[in-house]
Structure formats: C-alpha cells, structure tokens
Amino acid sequence: MDIVVALTNGKFGIVEDCHSTDDLEGSCIDCWVENEAGFTYEKAVVAYCV
C-alpha cells in the first residue's frame, strides 16, 4: 500500500508499496515529495506517518 508521511523538511511524501510503518519514523527513505510543480522522487527523512 502507499503511505503518506510528514517529512522533517516540512513537506509531505508518499512511500509506494510499503508493507509496514514500523521503523519509518526517523528513517532516510526514497519517496515522492510534494512540491510546487507536482511531485519529485527524492531522499528525505520521515518525521511521522500520517
């Protein structure tokens, strides 16, 4: 399933094909990050799962 996460940079991201939210908080992950033009795929640190 896809999971929406709040990132430490103040943006939101989407983690694709995630089977569990365990160990996501505080992890540096690759995810789709929301920006003005839409979404870009980049590395970011998860603050918490939404």
**Domain range annotation of the chain:** 3-49
* pLDDT, position 21: 87
* pLDDT, position 15: 94
Task: Tell me the C-alpha to C-alpha distance, in Å, between residue 28 and each of 20, 24, 36, 37.
Answer: 15, 8, 22, 23
* pLDDT, position 32: 97
- C-alpha–C-alpha distance, residues 17 and 45, integer Å: 17
* pLDDT, position 28: 96
- C-alpha–C-alpha distance, residues 22 and 10, integer Å: 21
Query: What is the rounded average pLDDT of the residues 34-39?
Result: 90
- Per residue in 1-36, pLDDT tens? 899 999 999 999 999 998 888 889 999 999 999 888
* pLDDT, position 3: 94
Cβ-contact 2, 50 below 8 angstroms = no
